[in-house]
Structure 1
Amino acid sequence: MLESVKIQRRQSEIRQSLAELVGKEKPSDDETRKMGEFDVEYRSNETRYRAALISEDTERRDAKGELETRSDKDYADLIGKFEMRQIALALDEGRQLDGPTAEIVQELRSHGGYRGMPIPWQALEKRAGETIASGVPDPKVTAPIIDRIFADSAAVRMGASMINIDHGLLEYPVTTSAVAAAWQTSETGSVGGPTAYATTDKPLAPNNTLGITMKVTRKALKQTGDALEQAVRRDMNGAMAVAMDKAVFLGAGASGEPAGVFVGSYGITSTAVNAAASWAAFRAAVTRFIVANAAAGPGSVNLLIRPEIYDFMDDTLIDMTAVSEWDRLTKNIPLSNVVMSSNALAAPTGGPPTASKALLTTTVGGVPPIFVGTWGAIDLIRDPYSDAASGGLRLTALATMDVTVSRPAQLEILTGVANAEAGS
């Protein structure tokens, strides 16, 4: 118990005792002496109470960071001990869950309904120290956020914010108005008329469900725990990361897929390059960002291109120099901001020469250009019939997600970016 609380309780007892003594018309000498002792103790306690508050306030400030993040750290530690093999064996042979795995599953079930076993998204993080055959597991402690799961995905590297939602619809109000200031034109004149401050809600709805199917053979189930642990996590992580990354950019908005950045009706500016890829083409797009106050400079812009564009630009030298178009690009846009993907962008078409699209994004005022919502946890369901003859285990993992764009001004699409000179 805090010292200040102890002193407060003692002060309350003294006041109560004094109230009883003061109420007597003719207190005895003993009672008069007690009143004097209580008075001295009360005044002494007041000084001690102030000193205790000062001391405890310093301790609170020192421990503030730890107190604010303790729950997140505890949950991250718990996730680090989550065992995928327990889930697989529970579905295969009815084994009872125990330890942190059972605690996490129970917590997830309390927040939503699942037909099978719920798996937290953070559990898909690949952990260091796990091997296929033998070796001591050394689970990596992961932060309790979704971004860490697919940290190398094109969506995250392009500035997308991965948001986990318990249930229901989530909307993000994003400022879309351009509130303007105006000077007073004369001494008695008025300043500019009022400009409405407007926001637009960017909804994320649980309308799109992604499913993957895994087959775990009887041999794999009987192998050491580390092998099964790594195999299930690796396969689920890889399959979901590829499918979700593609949906963020190329989702058809039909047949169960969310509407991706290139397909959805988000009002994103699309500029036709219709020429060979060059720094000049990308520089013009960066300049438009800067003019629109969406970026402070090329260093705050992310660029998504096809690998073929990199190959062409790196092979194209500026006349009379040893500097390539790629060198010029990475001199202005940091290499860490350039994302090359054959999954997030459609293959080059047309031609000759063939051409593809490119995407530029930027984060403004801490607002990401893209929101990717995931609902609850991954629902892992057992199919007891398909592989019954071989003694295998077939699992179906279901995940619900959606995509939306925050402000169209934070994105720009370039079309007709050719990976060769015309006529070549």
Structure 2
Amino acid sequence: MLESAKIQKRQSEIRSNLAELAANEAPSEDEQRSLKDLNREYQVNESRYQAAITAEDAERRDAGADLETREASEWGALVDKFEMRQAALHLDEGRQFDGATAEVVQELRQAGGYRGVPIPYAALETRAGETTSATVPDPIATKPLIDRLFPQSVAGAMGAQMVNVSAGGIEYPVSTSQVTAGWASTEGGDVAGPSEFTTVDRPLAPDHTLGIQMRLTRKAMKQSAGIEAAIRRDMQGAMQAKIDEAVFQGSGSNGQPAGVIAKAADYGIDSTAVDAAASYAAFRKAVTEFMLNNAASGPGSVRALIRPEVWDAMDDVIFDAGSGVTEYDRLAAKLGSVTQSHNALKAPSGSTPASKALLSTNAGGQSPIFVATWGAVDLIRDVYSDAASGGLRLTALVTMDVSISRTEQLRVLTGLQ
């Protein structure tokens, strides 16, 4: 029994005894002493009870955190054992799920409706040490498949927060009020008047669906070496490329979410026209604006996203001939990180080719960009398209949306020549 429960039980007994003694109008000396002793014990127990509650509250929080961590780790262990091969064979041959894969599919189907086979996003991650299943014959030594090339995740590198939503829409209220402080000019005078606390809602809605189609020939399904890992990497890479592109360049129409750079004006993100050769000075000026808006404590907390052509131009300009330090070296040394992508940023254009860049910072630990996904990947089989050849055509559907937090945490640079 918890110490607080023991004390609480004793306090109840004391109150009962005190009630009996208080009802006696002419208590004896022994009863008077009992009254004093019980009253004194009751007061001491009150202090002990408060101390016990405080100590046990910390224990409860630790226990709760342990349970949450344990639940997440158990789910992660199941997902680590999820086999893409079983999903493909279930759609192709109707084979039943078994083991950890069956448990994961059952859990996901209970959480939301899927037309096909639900696949957790974590199951698409590349896993080290994967080998051919021992239960599948593989008489020919087949070398690992050579994957397509995909850009690395840019959204994560720029501090985007991935949010998984089970159902419905969500929104993040962001404070936009400009509360000011003021001194009282005279003794007894009023301080600055009250300022209205205002917020703006950043909604995330399941309005955008990304589809990925894969065609597996009959030979590929029978040729077991590395096929599961290759399918997973291919799907993950294709989604990563398209999601990165949508996060920054989404048009907000034709089914696409509103990208941070493409729709910067709609979000209210400040844009600075450089209209000159890309240089460290141009980025330094924008970082200074971050610090003046209390969004960044220094250049080390700012991330930059640039085109490879900008890196090429800046790395070709020597700042210090003696040391060989280039303009890009200065930029990379000062900022928290510099990410290069030809997928998240549009190619340079204009008579003097120029491109855009994005700066972001996590002010107060808050991510500048939200990328929401709903549920899991819905894997559906097309039973008709490749029926004649015995092949398997799969469609993976992903629902996602993009939004930002504070506009002060993002800044677009244009005209970087």
TM-score normalized by the length of structure 1: 0.79
Write out per-residue CA displacement over residues 8-66 of structure 1, whole angstroms, 9 at most, x where no aligned residue.
8xx99xx9xxxxxxxxxxxxxxxxxxxxxxxxxxxxxxxxxx9xx99x96987886653
For the 8 Å contact 1:132–1:230, the answer to whether it is kept is no
What runs of 5+ residues in structure 1 fail to find an aligned partner?
A: 16-49, 135-149, 419-424
In structure 2, distance between residues paired with 1:164 and 1:151 = 22
Q: How do 1:165-180 residues align onto structure 2 when only pairs under 5 Å count?
A: 165-180=165-180
Pairwise CA RMSD: 2.6
Select between 84-93 and 255-264 the one with higher mean Cα deviation.
Answer: 255-264
Q: Which amino acid aligns with 1:190?
A: D
Q: Does 1:155 align with 2:155?
A: yes
Q: How do 1:258-407 residues align onto structure 2 when only pairs under 5 Å count?
A: 258-264=257-263, 265-318=266-319, 320-321=321-322, 322-334=324-336, 337-352=337-352, 354-407=353-406
For the 8 Å contact 2:302–2:360, the answer to whether it is kept is yes
Q: Which amino acid aligns with 2:110?
A: S
For the 8 Å contact 1:91–1:382, the answer to whether it is kept is yes
Matched with 2:184 is: 184
Tell me the CA shift for residue 319 of structure 1. 5.5
For the 8 Å contact 2:105–2:118, the answer to whether it is kept is yes
Q: Which amino acid aligns with 1:80?
A: D
Q: Which amino acid aligns with 1:376?
A: G
Count of paired positions: 355
Match of 2:325, SS state, is coil
Matched with 2:202 is: 202
Write out per-residue CA displacement over residues 101-131 of structure 1, whole angstroms, 9 at most, x where no aligned residue.
1111111111211111111111111111125
Q: Which amino acid aligns with 1:278?
A: S
In structure 1, distance between residues paired with 2:132 and 2:277 = 46
For the 8 Å contact 2:118–2:378, the answer to whether it is kept is yes
In structure 2, distance between residues paired with 1:112 and 1:252 = 29
In structure 2, distance between residues paired with 1:171 and 1:65 = 26
Matched with 2:40 is: none
Match of 1:105, SS state, is helix
Q: Which amino acid aligns with 2:415?
A: G
Matched with 1:248 is: 247
Tell me the CA shift for residue 338 of structure 1. 0.8
Matched with 1:138 is: none
Matched with 2:112 is: 112
For the 8 Å contact 1:251–1:259, the answer to whether it is kept is yes
When residues 128 and 327 of structure 1 are mapped into structure 2, their CA distance, relative to the original with a 3 A threshold, is: same
In structure 2, distance between residues paired with 1:132 and 1:157 = 33
Q: Which amino acid aligns with 1:396?
A: T
Tell me the CA shift for residue 286 of structure 1. 0.3
Matched with 2:17 is: none
In structure 1, distance between residues paired with 2:275 and 2:340 = 20
For the 8 Å contact 2:151–2:343, the answer to whether it is kept is no
Match of 2:226, SS state, is helix
When residues 118 and 197 of structure 1 are mapped into structure 2, their CA distance, relative to the original with a 3 A threshold, is: same
Match of 1:240, SS state, is helix
In structure 1, distance between residues paired with 2:291 and 2:62 = 42
Match of 2:289, SS state, is helix
Tell me the CA shift for residue 236 of structure 1. 0.5
Tell me the CA shift for residue 257 of structure 1. 0.5
Matched with 1:94 is: 94
In structure 2, distance between residues paired with 1:307 and 1:291 = 29
Provide the identity percentage: 59
What runs of 5+ residues in structure 2 fail to find an aligned partner?
A: 14-48, 135-149
For the 8 Å contact 1:212–1:239, the answer to whether it is kept is yes
Match of 1:386, SS state, is coil
Match of 1:101, SS state, is helix
Matched with 2:212 is: 212
Tell me the CA shift for residue 133 of structure 1. 10
In structure 2, distance between residues paired with 1:252 and 1:64 = 43
For the 8 Å contact 1:151–1:157, the answer to whether it is kept is no
Matched with 1:18 is: none
Matched with 1:22 is: none
In structure 2, distance between residues paired with 1:238 and 1:390 = 27
In structure 1, distance between residues paired with 2:415 and 2:377 = 38
Q: Which amino acid aligns with 2:276?
A: A
In structure 1, distance between residues paired with 2:198 and 2:383 = 54
Tell me the CA shift for residue 157 of structure 1. 0.6
For the 8 Å contact 1:133–1:227, the answer to whether it is kept is no
Tell me the CA shift for residue 331 of structure 1. 1.8
For the 8 Å contact 2:304–2:339, the answer to whether it is kept is yes
Tell me the CA shift for residue 263 of structure 1. 2.1
Q: Which amino acid aligns with 1:246?
A: E
When residues 379 and 284 of structure 1 are mapped into structure 2, their CA distance, relative to the original with a 3 A threshold, is: same
Match of 2:215, SS state, is strand
For the 8 Å contact 2:320–2:326, the answer to whether it is kept is no
Tell me the CA shift for residue 223 of structure 1. 2.5
